[in-house]
Amino acid sequence: MTKIISFANQKGGVGKSTICLQTVFYLQEAGYRVLAIDLDPQGNTSSRLSQGDEGAYSGTPSVRLFDEGLNEIQPMRCERGMDLIWTMKNDPELSEIESLPLSCVRHPIANLKASGILEHYDYVLIDCPPSLGRKLVAALTMSTHVICPVQVSGFALDGVEGLLNTIISVQEELNPDLENTGMVINNLKRGFEEDMNTRDQLRKAVPDLVYEAEVGVRGQLDVANLNGVPVWSIKKTSAREAAKEIRAVIEELMKKVG
Ligand SMILES: Nc1ncnc2c1ncn2[C@@H]1O[C@H](COP(=O)(O)OP(=O)(O)OP(=O)(O)O)[C@@H](O)[C@H]1O
Ligand SMILES: [Mg+2]
């Protein structure tokens, strides 16, 4: 059965797109058939997977998934071999989904199923936008699993409860099969006592909901994002360290997803 994984957190800049993108590369290189769906109107994942060439976008954009009774879905084939349901940078139409009736959250999964395209993939990875709106609920409604990248610095953990409650509501009302694989701590400043204390408190408070693997501040992830490449393809010692941490997260995710 196709595993559909959402990368979710209503906070911006916590690493959703970064971890999603590296997971796409990892699974693609492992020989799996991978589809990425970009539900974030910022279009980060789309531009990274298309090497910044928005002119090359073809096939069905992600906003169409919210149409009722979409007959056909045509993902775009990326150069590296994975497929993509893209969004244009700052797509206003995708932003406007938030003003549609709540029932629109059921359309993407209905369309994916009716189109028959899920059978073509082992993994579908969804990059979610930084809000608790329709698009996130739609993503969770079509997912078998969700992973929540979090940061422990500053106020980045505020609102995590809202995210966990959103996941529970979706499990109760829309998608009982959704499994929360938990929160993965990203961008951890290991030299900062405050960060480490917050991390320890989080692990103590919800031990089953925090990934064992965690990712420190790794500038090479930025470089990997900028170039739209796997961080392990960068030939630098600092990239090797980043790759080791990211791979540990992905491997833990895969273990949970089965
Ligand atoms: N562990 C890390 N170390 C250093 N930089 C990181 C790390 N993780 C992510 N970044 C950088 O932080 C920025 C935000 O990351 P990313 O885009 O993945 O977050 P996001 O949660 O998808 O944000 P948004 O909600 O705006 O889509 C990016 O520039 C990314 O390269
Ligand atoms: Mg993002």
With pLDDT > 90 as the criterion, what percentage of the chain qualifies? 93
Question: What is the predicted pLDDT for the residue at 158?
Answer: 78
Q: Consecutive sets of 10 residues in the chain, 258 residues long: mean pLDDT of each?
A: 96 96 98 98 94 88 96 94 95 95 96 96 97 96 98 80 94 98 97 94 93 98 95 96 98 97
Question: pLDDT tens across 190-215, in order?
Answer: 999 999 999 999 999 899 999 999 99
**Cα angle value 246/185/139 (rounded, 5°):** 85
Task: Tell the residue nearest (CA) to atom 7 of ligand 1.
Answer: 187
b/e per residue 175-199 (b: at least 16 CB within 10 A): beebbbbbbbbbbbeeeeeebeebb
Question: What is the predicted pLDDT for the residue at 153?
Answer: 84
Q: Which CATH superfamily is domain 3-257 in?
A: P-loop containing nucleotide triphosphate hydrolases (3.40.50.300)
**Up-side HSE of residue 246: CA atoms within 13 Å toward CB?**
31
Pocket of ligand 1 (CB under 6 A): 12-18, 40, 42, 44, 130, 186-187, 215, 217-219, 221-222, 225
Domain ranges of the chain: 3-257
Question: What is the predicted pLDDT for the residue at 53?
Answer: 83
Question: What is the predicted pLDDT for the residue at 175?
Answer: 98
